[in-house]
A = this chain, B = another copy of it.
Amino acid sequence: MSGEALENERRDVRQLLGKKLNGYDTLSGAETSAIEDAMGSCRLFDANADLVRVGESPDFSTLILNGWAARYKSTEEGARQITAVHIPGDFVDLHSFLLRPMDHSVVALSSCRVAMFPHHRLRVITERHPHLTRLLWLNTLVDAALHREWLLMMRLRAGNHLAHLICELYLRLDAVGLISNRAFEFPITQAVVADMLGISPVHVNRALQEVRARELLTWQNKIVTILKWEELKAFAQFDPTYLFQEKLPR
């Protein structure tokens, strides 16, 4: 890789992590440098490639620069349950820093560029930067909060559940600047959404028809457009508190 490309990637990381962690609490200059210095090389994954597999103990954690990824587990019958969706700026795999071996796998949902953070460098951060450590910890706690909301949402009917997923993605994408004109690119098939919602692909299609019939959103050609945000939120029982997007001192 050329020095220039590396420099571009470092700039991307700086911008994305800045948006992400600064969304929780202000980073000092020293902290910003510390996290940048912790970054290792970057890698490109094709859609459907596993970034990490269950049972492995990677010695690095990954941050998404662009593209979509998901964490998932599978039943014995081979049914896949996606437990979280990840978008640019997400520290997908910070868990593997402390939680070994992996209890789940991570897959690229689209082609996906990621930055690797070697665990030994993250450890240095925990030794020298307590405030930054708390922000990284917080980052994993927000993931847990998403899991809890997803558990609750399993109680909704398919249509409401689908709407809720879209609401969550809409706000998270907005936080990293990936929304324009109330629309976002959604490079995901209905079958994959089925694995997120825990229902069959056929039923995703029917749930989608309900949401379309209510004219809450459109989803065509890999583009989702929100038509009526307030109505969509109400239909989805969506309360964004669990995303923890407001800044509070930590």
Contacts and interface: CB of A to CB of B under 8 A. Distances in A.
Interface of A: 55, 71, 73-76, 79, 81, 83, 95, 98-101, 103-104, 123, 126-127, 130, 133-134, 137-138, 140-145, 147-152, 154-156, 198, 237, 241-242, 244, 248, 250
Nearest to A244: B99
B81 A151 contact: yes
A189 to B, nearest CB: 19
8 contacts: A55-B241, A74-B152, A81-B152, A83-B147, A83-B148, A103-B148, A137-B137, A144-B144
Contacts of A237: 75-76
A95 B141 contact: yes
Contacts of A144: 95, 140, 143-144, 147
A126 B131 CA distance: 8
Closest 5 CB pairs of A and B: A147-B147, A144-B144, A103-B242, A98-B138, A73-B152
Contact of A154 (B100, B140, B156, B198): B198
